[in-house]
Amino acid sequence: QEPESPGASQFRQAAARIPEVPFGLSTSPAVLSHYGVAANTVTLFRRVDNDRRDLDMNNNDVDAEKLTRFVRMNELRLVTEYNPVTAIGVMQSSLQLHLLLITDKLSPKHPERMRKYRAAAELFKGKILFILLDSNLKSNERVVSFFNLKKSQLPALAIFHEPDEEQDVLTLDEVSVRRVQDFCNRFLQ
């Protein structure tokens, strides 16, 4: 209710730490009612899976650090990079179909691969959660082995349907919007 309260100040500090995420502050009863948000609540709207997460700010120990962590743990982007922090948001997604691009982020081809992967992600927004998995990270080795892949077979696409653990893998020399789209459509059928 108070735009100059300590909680609002912590909110602004968190917003400054994450410039790539749009933040907004509202004291309007009409806006709060429209979104079904209680006062003194931080609500994270995730466009990727049309879901939301709420954080009650009435608890006095919520600070900018905890707010930043809340956003980082629960945000999902068009393409979400998988790591120990984002894993929580990925696992809690309402989207049960996950497509992983397992690739070397240090590769000179990485920026172009990501451009095409993001373009494909636009086509499946709200249907499939697109995830980037960096094959260089030791913490990701377990995921790579889960799909029975070796480093020599990368880059690869791996699709996973959470409820029944059905999966498919496609090794590729080059990422293209068409190949990603065909792979997803084939799995969906």
Number of domains in the chain: 2
pTM summary value? 0.79
Do 180 and 144 sit in the same domain of this protein?
Answer: yes
> What CATH number does residue 71 fall under?
3.40.30.10
Do 99 and 172 sit in the same domain of this protein?
Answer: yes
Do 181 and 121 sit in the same domain of this protein?
Answer: yes
* Local confidence band at 163 (pLDDT 50, 70, 90 cut-offs): confident
* Local confidence band at 106 (pLDDT 50, 70, 90 cut-offs): very high
Do 71 and 124 sit in the same domain of this protein?
Answer: no
pLDDT at residue 101 is higher than 90: yes
* Local confidence band at 153 (pLDDT 50, 70, 90 cut-offs): very high
Query: Cα dihedral sign for 102, 104, 109, 115?
Result: positive
**161: containing domain:** 80-85+88-188
Task: Give mean pLDDT, residues 150-161.
Answer: 94
Instruction: Kindly state whether residue 1 falls inside one of the protein's structural domains.
Output: no
Task: Tell me the Ramachandran region of residue 36: left when phi exceeds 0, alpha when psi lies from -120 to 50, beta otherwise.
Answer: left
